[in-house]
Amino acid sequence: MNPISSETPFDDAFHRAAERHERAWVFIVLAMLAVLLVGTMFYVVFDYGIVTQGASFFRQPSAAMDEPAFHEGRVVQTGSNRYAVYMVGHAWSWSPGVVHVKAGSLVTFYVTSTDVLHGFEVQGTTINVTAMPGAVGKVEYRFDRAGTYYIICNEYCGIEHHSMIGRIVVDPKDNA
């Protein structure tokens, strides 16, 4: 005898109610997961600060890429408290390898690459820009505290990726 066919009307109603209940909980759990996922994204973007606000990219015609500033790296002081840094990533180092700026300076980085993708990340700051061949990433940052900030490559770029370290040395103010 088939046990299902022997169910009483009460058993049947019970099973249908139980299934409704289960479906409701599956829906609640999925909704919670969606809220958690979206909430985490907002947290990473707005609170954790990993995404650099104000970073932008522009395509650079190859003629402009021939500018010495873009293939050898350069630090240009553009004002009493302002610098422009032309930062180039190549396997496996940064040019310039060491950047000196004064504390309290606003620094604009123009970041590019001569070969493959590299990740331009400055530890202890919110700077995190991809260095792309044929494009220039732009990001601004104010270095208020004196000290050494390490540049690391956070985009795997080959066998010596881990040694791709540069330094930004923020010197104390003259009158400090």
Q: How many residues bind Cu ion (CB under 5 A)?
A: 4
Nearer to Cu ion by Cβ, of 8 and 163: the residue is: 163
129 token code pair = 């820009």
Can residue 151 be called a binding residue for Cu ion (CB under 5 A)? Answer: no
Q: How far is the CB of 152 from Cu ion (least distance, A)?
A: 8
Q: How far is the CB of 105 from Cu ion (least distance, A)?
A: 27
Can residue 157 be called a binding residue for Cu ion (CB under 5 A)? Answer: yes
138 token code pair = 């732009």
List the one residue from 161, 165, 167, 171 that touches Cu ion (CB under 5 A).
161
Q: Which stretch binds Cu ion (CB under 5 A): 7-15, 22-30, 102-110, 152-160?
A: 152-160
Q: How far is the CB of 87 from Cu ion (least distance, A)?
A: 14
Where does residue 93 fall: left (phi above 0), alpha (psi -120 to 50 degrees), or beta otherwise? beta
| Sheet containing strand 118-122, strands side by side | 98-102, 165-171, 147-153, 118-122, 128-131
Token pair 């022997």: residue: 6
Q: How far is CA 154 from CA 33, 45, 151, in A?
A: 29, 18, 9
CA distance 28 to 24: 6
Nearer to Cu ion by Cβ, of 147 and 158: the residue is: 158
- Which positions lie near Cu ion, rule CB under 5 A? 153, 157, 161, 164
